[in-house]
């Protein structure tokens, strides 16, 4: 009762807060009153003609276009209204506008308008307006409309004459010069009402649909004809019924001056990334360049978010940020559904915003979670712009939906109404009732300001941009020419927002650039403008359409912070020619005219779109992961423990002085030994056991001399989560080498039993001249979270081992032997899941955990890999530990760890592993209510509704205090891949690594001491996380190079999206290569010298 009362109180206070019109502090933005601006526009929805049940996109809202349509130097605004008349507001200065819609003749005749774009379609220096409509559906009529600007305040609708009077499901048009002939062509984004009842094969995208398929129109203006030609099919543009297009943006993603296209598609269809081939065609390459995308992708934007002058891509989705809304809303697919979509040919998609960071190598890394921008509720329009003129772009995101159909209580429990389905009741009235029952919830838009190289924080409240709304299209534009970008937002059933940017005293300098093309199109769409200031450069591309159903003025706006001087401005025109000028002064708008003679120079960074693999050597081995689904048995397991391979090992096994390779097999796949030939080729050396031992899943291997005969013997660790401890299919194998590369299984050499293994590390630990072993085990199969047995085995000198140490240390992934403290005795460093970086020291013939090692206390991670090297050159071995990274749904800290509770909560004889993580002051379960209740049905009894479940904010809300008390609790307080620098005193200090390292999991670390001393190679990515976590695919490989200022990351020769599990160095024909050993893929050889 008390809690309820508190809630009511808080709610009341919240209401009070809302009624106060003026923000308390002098915030940067001020919402202007329509009575002062005269912009009294409301996109009002009547729900009369159609509704959301008949038309899925009923609440998508309208768009905004901003541009100076009368060339008076003031930016005017156009709003689309879905049902009502579209409006054009002429800027009269000082934030006073005049509705000139009727006189201008732009209100249009379409029954349902969507997007709007301002562009100079006929290249006469006056911005024209193209309005997208929905026509020919459920009684909605109307073709798309092209309002040609007559230059006198009036417009003439000319879509038919221009061949652009498309009728169908248009969302938005973008004008751009794809063939770089000097006139603006048009990509028309259409959505679809194709049933999403079933997914159908992805090959459906190759079919054509006249009303839902996207179109590409070529402008014939330069050929002397004011008319467009539909070139969709010949240009290679998909135009099918499964193109649920909700966002389109154009930009040169691969820096070849040919504009590329990114299309966001709703539902199960992939997004499309069309790479312009420069010959009038496009090649769709999303899956080659991007690991995963948003699922219900809505609006999108391209722009540089990290200051490397490469266009990044933002796509928006509908993931709630508020834990309560999150817990009662439908979000990720169940595993089965996800699998079916993949089998149908669709790419990986998750219900969250995507931040596709352009890596400059043809690939993108999706880092929205690391950046802190992945969850902004039901989101529509992203705006990338420098709102505070500090030289770094902000990201403004509109969101809100008038009726919220993804409410789980609605989905599961509202249906009784529709039991009248078979009765005579008119379906209209049932729809009406169903819609009335749909929950409504107003949330505020998000404003993200950069708070690090790749990180953002929401400053909406501080900046005065937190007015709750159902917001859709939005544009940033300088409405009063004060050099600060204002915001214009189109809302459903609410006054459109005009936010005046007042600055806040610290407002930096700026420079605005408009272009006037001669050979290029009039406003220079597609040109790139670079501003050079004191060794720093900022680049922007001139575009029209961005965000959601919206378009911006064709100009560049640069915030310059406290920079007092611009050294030069360089324009690269769509023709490819450069033009450089040195402007005088700052804080103004420059208009740059295209010169007839520009210079053509090669750009400094040229992005190779090469996506071929560096597979060098034949015969090609390819690891094949078997498709065991761990979560068919362990519903709550957060990631697979059955996909840890392959094993690999490099060494000279036949004494010819050449490096040979062992590659392990997946389950049912034989591991193979390849002998290097004199010519640098590799030939498989068949072994007697090759076929027989295919049943083992080889997860780790090592070549070492086990029996003291100086030949390299082979140990192969078996793993897998499908069989129980003790299963013969889990036995580790020691194979003795006869010196010629013939290996024989040494039976009974290894006494430690059969486990889901993870690693072996050979070392002479007792100084008796033979090699002893650490054997690490990953898990207790079928029981996620339980600690597995770990072993140290001592060699009798003849290759027969006995157990010297056995302890359930945890879920071990990797280990290393090193004399950490210089006492001439080796220590064992062990890492794993829910474990700290652990040091075992030898003590009286056995080993014990060294307690309280300073600097390693708070190192509980989901560790994946380990390397020991003297990183700082002080002669002491330091620790580099690979973790899952911080591009995760959960990012733990010491204060806010991720927690795992292990107990048989439902008393059915099986341990239930329940993971909680901190979100906005609450500790909430990672798994959905449905998944938790599947594992523990009593939760359905405890929580009758999702609304009730949504209040869960700590483990005690889910389970009884007693059950919590009796459970085993594990936690992780860092997901950061980390360096721990060894101090002579036996203590360690954390040293951070380049932020890029945290983009993905780090599964393998190799410190190069021979070829490029100090270089650290890192292999990463893990595709087998649960759908709730989503796959880690943002970084297959990264190189860290030592500089005087620490390590610097680059993605040298990284050009595949793969999961790297091992890194090996091999010398082939005298040349060193790094081998990237991939799970479920072919190894890749990268020359490193």
Partner 1 sequence: MIGLIGACQGPKKEIVLESDMLHHAVQNLTDVIVHDIFSPPVASRIYAYTSITAYEILALKDSSYKSLAGQLNGLDPIPAPTQKINYDVAAVDAYLLASIKLIFSEDKIIQYREEWHRDLKKQGIDEEILDNSIAYAQGVVNHIFDWADKDNYKQTRTFQKYTITGEEGIWQPTPPAYIEAIEPHWGKIRPFVIDSSAQFKAKGPNKFNLEKENIFYKQVVEVYETVNNLSTEQKEIAAFWDCNPYVMNVHGHVMFATKKITPGGHWMGIAKIACEKDKADLVKSAYAYTLTSIAIADGFISCWDEKYRSNLIRPETVINKHIDQDWLPLLQTPPFPEYPSGHSVISSAAGIALTSIFGASFGFMDDTEEKYGLPTRTFSSFVAASEEAAISRLYGGIHFMPAITDGFEQGKQVGKFIIENIEFKEQPANDGAVAFSSGH
Binding stretches for partner 1 (CB under 8 A): 52-57, 193, 195-200, 296, 330, 334, 336-337, 339-340, 343, 405-406, 410-416, 418-423, 425, 434, 438, 629, 631-633, 635, 906-910, 934-935, 937, 940-941, 944
Tokens (6 digits) for 140: 């909605």
Q: Whole-number minimum distance, CB 945 to partner 1, in Å?
A: 9
Q: Whole-number minimum distance, CB 338 to partner 1, in Å?
A: 10
* CA nearest to 944, candidates 924, 959, 929, 962: 929
What is the rounded (10 degree) CA torsion for 762, 765, 766, 770?
A: 20
* Other beta carbons within 10 Å of 107: 18
Q: Whole-number minimum distance, CB 325 to partner 1, in Å?
A: 16
Nearer to partner 1, 71 or 208 (CB): 208
Nearer to partner 1, 14 or 422 (CB): 422
Spatial strand order of the sheet with 446-450 comes to 379-385, 394-399, 446-450, 456-458
Q: Are 807 and 794 in contact (CB under 8 A)?
A: no
Nearer to partner 1, 59 or 522 (CB): 59
Q: Whole-number minimum distance, CB 352 to partner 1, in Å?
A: 16
Tokens (6 digits) for 1: 């009762």
Q: Whole-number minimum distance, CB 407 to partner 1, in Å?
A: 10
Nearer to partner 1, 49 or 229 (CB): 49
Alpha-carbon distances of 1029 from 334, 756, 1001, 1032, rounded to whole Å? 12, 23, 13, 9
Q: Whole-number minimum distance, CB 111 to partner 1, in Å?
A: 19
Distance of CA 166 to the CA centre of its chain: 34
Rounded to whole angstroms, how far apart are CA atoms 130 and 128? Answer: 7
* CA nearest to 554, candidates 118, 52, 1018: 118
Q: Where is 10: in which H helix or E strand?
A: helix 2-19
Q: Whole-number minimum distance, CB 288 to partner 1, in Å?
A: 25
Nearer to partner 1, 411 or 581 (CB): 411
Q: Whole-number minimum distance, CB 634 to partner 1, in Å?
A: 9
Tokens (6 digits) for 366: 């999706």
Q: Whole-number minimum distance, CB 432 to partner 1, in Å?
A: 13
Tokens (6 digits) for 1089: 């010298």
Q: Whole-number minimum distance, CB 937 to partner 1, in Å?
A: 6
Nearer to partner 1, 206 or 421 (CB): 421
Nearer to partner 1, 658 or 933 (CB): 933
Nearer to partner 1, 181 or 630 (CB): 630
Nearer to partner 1, 951 or 1041 (CB): 951
Q: Whole-number minimum distance, CB 273 to partner 1, in Å?
A: 24
Nearer to partner 1, 81 or 298 (CB): 298
Q: Whole-number minimum distance, CB 314 to partner 1, in Å?
A: 21
Nearer to partner 1, 278 or 937 (CB): 937
Q: Whole-number minimum distance, CB 861 to partner 1, in Å?
A: 28
Q: Whole-number minimum distance, CB 56 to partner 1, in Å?
A: 2
Residues contacting residue 44 through CB under 8 Å, at least 6 positions apart? 81, 83, 84, 492, 493
SS3 per-residue string spanning 37-50: HCCCCEECCCCCCC
Nearer to partner 1, 200 or 243 (CB): 200
Nearer to partner 1, 156 or 908 (CB): 908
**Backbone φ/ψ region at 360: left (φ over 0), alpha (ψ -120 to 50), beta:** left
Rounded to whole angstroms, how far apart are CA atoms 479 and 1011? Answer: 57
Tokens (6 digits) for 1051: 């993605």
Residues contacting residue 907 through CB under 8 Å, at least 6 positions apart? none
Residues contacting residue 484 through CB under 8 Å, at least 6 positions apart? 387, 389, 478, 501, 502, 503, 507, 510
Rounded to whole angstroms, how far apart are CA atoms 818 and 284? Answer: 50
Rounded to whole angstroms, how far apart are CA atoms 277 and 191? Answer: 25
Nearer to partner 1, 909 or 921 (CB): 909
Rounded to whole angstroms, how far apart are CA atoms 851 and 131? Answer: 69
Nearer to partner 1, 3 or 941 (CB): 941
Nearer to partner 1, 6 or 945 (CB): 945
Nearer to partner 1, 57 or 975 (CB): 57
DSSP string, 683-699: EEE--TTTTGGGGSEEE
Q: Whole-number minimum distance, CB 189 to partner 1, in Å?
A: 17
SS3 per-residue string spanning 476-537: EECCCCCCCCEEEEEEECCECEEEEECCCCCCCEEEEEEEECCCCCCCCCCCEEEEEECCEE
Q: Whole-number minimum distance, CB 1072 to partner 1, in Å?
A: 42
Tokens (6 digits) for 227: 């008319």
Q: Whole-number minimum distance, CB 956 to partner 1, in Å?
A: 21
69 secondary structure, DSSP code: T
Q: Whole-number minimum distance, CB 401 to partner 1, in Å?
A: 9
Rounded to whole angstroms, how far apart are CA atoms 1023 and 639? Answer: 9
Rounded to whole angstroms, how far apart are CA atoms 855 and 990? Answer: 7
Nearer to partner 1, 376 or 406 (CB): 406
* CA nearest to 32, candidates 389, 431, 500, 459: 500
Contacts of 276-282 spanning 24+ positions with Cβ under 8 A: 276/178, 277/236, 280/178, 280/179, 280/231, 280/234, 280/235, 281/234, 281/235, 281/236, 282/178, 282/216, 282/235, 282/236, 282/237
286 secondary structure, DSSP code: H
Dihedral sign for Cα atoms in the order 198, 204, 209, 214:
positive
Rounded to whole angstroms, how far apart are CA atoms 813 and 644? Answer: 9
Contacts of 683-692 spanning 24+ positions with Cβ under 8 A: 683/619, 684/619, 685/653, 685/654, 685/660, 685/741, 685/742, 687/735, 687/742, 687/743, 688/744, 689/735, 689/743, 689/745
Rounded to whole angstroms, how far apart are CA atoms 893 and 898? Answer: 8
């Amino acid at each position: 009762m008390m809690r309820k009362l508190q809630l009511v109180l808080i709610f009341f206070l919240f209401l009070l807060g809302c009624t106060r019109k003026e923000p308390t502090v002098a915030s940067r933005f001020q919402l202007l009153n329509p009575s002062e601006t005269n912009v009294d526009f409301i996109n009002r929805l009547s729900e009369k003609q159609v509704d959301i049940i008949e038309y899925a996109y009923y609440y998508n809202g309208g768009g905004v276009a901003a541009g100076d349509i009368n060339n008076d130097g003031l930016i005017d605004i156009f709003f689309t209204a879905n049902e009502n008349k579209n409006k054009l507001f002429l800027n009269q200065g000082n934030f006073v506008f005049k509705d000139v819609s009727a006189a201008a003749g732009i209100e249009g005749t379409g029954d349902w308008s969507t997007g709007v774009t301002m562009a100079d379609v006929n290249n006469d220096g006056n911005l024209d307006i193209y309005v997208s409509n929905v026509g020919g559906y459920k009684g909605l009529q109307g073709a798309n409309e092209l309002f040609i600007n007559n230059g006198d305040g009036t417009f003439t609708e000319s879509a038919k004459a221009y061949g652009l009077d498309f009728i169908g499901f248009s969302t938005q048009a973008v004008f751009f010069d794809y063939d770089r002939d000097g006139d603006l062509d048009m990509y028309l984004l259409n959505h679809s009402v194709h049933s999403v009842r079933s997914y159908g094969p992805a090959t459906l995208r190759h079919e054509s649909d006249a009303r839902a398929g996207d179109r590409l129109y070529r402008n014939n203006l330069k050929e002397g004809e004011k008319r467009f030609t539909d070139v969709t099919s010949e240009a290679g543009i998909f135009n099918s019924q499964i193109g649920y297009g909700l966002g389109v943006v154009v930009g040169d993603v691969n820096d070849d001056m040919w504009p590329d296209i990114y299309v966001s598609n709703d539902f199960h269809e992939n997004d499309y990334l069309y790479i312009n081939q420069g010959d009038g065609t496009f090649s769709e390459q999303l899956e080659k360049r991007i690991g995963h995308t948003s699922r219900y992708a809505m609006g999108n934007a391209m722009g540089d978010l990290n200051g490397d002058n490469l266009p990044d891509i933002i796509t928006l989705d509908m993931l709630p940020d508020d834990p309560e809304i999150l817990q009662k809303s439908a979000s990720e697919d169940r595993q089965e559904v996800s699998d079916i979509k993949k089998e149908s040919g669709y790419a990986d998609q998750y219900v969250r915003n995507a931040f596709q960071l352009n890596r400059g190598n043809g690939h993108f890394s999706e880092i929205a979670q690391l950046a802190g921008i992945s969850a902004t509720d039901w989101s529509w329009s992203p705006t990338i712009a420098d709102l505070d003129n500090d030289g770094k772009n902000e990201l403004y995101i509109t969101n809100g939906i008038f009726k919220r159909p993804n409410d789980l209580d609605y989905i599961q429990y509202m249906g009784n109404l529709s039991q009248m389905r078979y009765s005579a009741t008119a379906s209209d009235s049932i729809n009406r009732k169903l819609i009335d029952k749909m929950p409504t919830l107003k949330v505020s838009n998000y404003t993200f300001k950069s708070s690090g190289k790749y990180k953002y924080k929401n400053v909406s409240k501080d900046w005065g941009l937190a007015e709750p709304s159902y917001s859709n299209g939005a544009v940033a534009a300088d409405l009063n020419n004060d050099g600060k970008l204002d915001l214009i937002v189109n809302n459903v059933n609410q006054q459109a927002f005009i936010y005046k940017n007042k600055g806040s005293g610290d407002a930096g300098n700026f420079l605005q650039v408009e272009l006037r093309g001669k050979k290029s199109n009039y406003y220079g769409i597609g040109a790139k403008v670079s501003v050079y200031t004191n060794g720093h450069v900022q680049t922007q591309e001139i575009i029209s359409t961005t965000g959601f159903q919206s378009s911006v003025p064709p100009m560049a706006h640069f915030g310059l912070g406290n920079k007092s001087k611009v050294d030069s401005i360089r324009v690269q025109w769509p023709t490819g020619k450069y033009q450089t000028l040195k402007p005088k002064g700052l804080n103004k708008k420059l208009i740059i005219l295209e010169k007839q003679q520009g210079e053509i120079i090669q750009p400094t960074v040229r992005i190779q779109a090469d996506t071929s693999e560096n597979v060098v050597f034949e015969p090609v081995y390819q690891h094949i992961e078997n498709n065991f689904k761990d979560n068919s048995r362990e519903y709550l397991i957060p990631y697979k423990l059955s996909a840890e391979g392959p094993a690999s090992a490099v060494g000279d096994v036949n004494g010819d002085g050449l490096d040979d390779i062992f590659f392990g097999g997946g389950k049912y796949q034989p591991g193979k030994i390849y002998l290097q030939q004199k010519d640098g080729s590799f030939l498989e050396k068949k072994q007697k056991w090759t076929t027989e031992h295919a049943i083992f899943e080889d997860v780790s291997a090592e070549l070492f001399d086990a029996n003291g005969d100086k030949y390299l013997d082979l140990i192969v660790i078996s793993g897998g989560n499908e069989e129980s401890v003790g299963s013969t299919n889990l036995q580790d194998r020691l194979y003795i080498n006869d010196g010629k590369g013939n290996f024989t299984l040494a039976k009974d050499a290894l006494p430690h039993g059969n486990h889901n293994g993870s690693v072996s590390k050979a070392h002479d630990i007792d100084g008796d001249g033979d090699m002893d072993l650490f054997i690490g085990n990953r898990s207790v199969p079928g029981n996620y979270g339980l600690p597995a047995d770990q072993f140290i085995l001592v060699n009798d000198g003849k290759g027969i081992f006995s157990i010297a140490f056995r302890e359930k240390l945890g879920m071990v992934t990797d280990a290393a032997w090193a004399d950490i403290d210089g006492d001439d005795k080796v220590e064992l460093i062990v890492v794993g899941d829910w474990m700290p970086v652990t040091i075992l020291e030898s003590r009286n013939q056995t080993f014990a955990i060294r307690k309280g090692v300073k600097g390693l206390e708070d190192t509980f991670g989901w560790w994946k890999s380990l390397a020991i090297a003297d990183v700082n050159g002080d002669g002491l071995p330091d620790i580099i530990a690979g973790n899952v990274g911080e591009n995760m749904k959960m990012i733990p800290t010491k204060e806010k760890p991720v927690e795992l509770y292990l107990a048989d909560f439902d008393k059915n004889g099986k341990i239930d592993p329940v993971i909680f993580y901190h979100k906005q002051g609450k500790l909430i379960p990672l798994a959905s209510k449905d998944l938790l209740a599947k594992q523990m049905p009593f939760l359905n009894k405890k929580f009758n509704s999702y609304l009730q479940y949504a209040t869960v904010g700590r483990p005690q809300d889910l389970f009884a205090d007693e059950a919590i008390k009796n459970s085993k609790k594990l936690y992780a307080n860092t997901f950061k891949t980390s360096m721990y620098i060894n101090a002579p005193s036996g203590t360690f200090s954390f040293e951070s690594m380049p932020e890029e390292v945290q983009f993905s999991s780090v599964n393998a670390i190799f410190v190069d001491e021979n070829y490029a001393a100090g270089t650290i190679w890192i292999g990463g990515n893990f595709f087998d996380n649960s759908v709730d976590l989503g796959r880690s695919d943002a970084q297959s490989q990264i190189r860290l190079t030592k500089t005087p200022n620490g390590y610097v990351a680059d993605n040298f020769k990284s050009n595949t999206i793969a999961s790297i599990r091992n890194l090996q160095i091999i010398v082939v024909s005298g040349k060193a290569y790094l081998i990237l050993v991939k799970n479920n893929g072919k190894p890749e050889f990268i020359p490193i010298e």
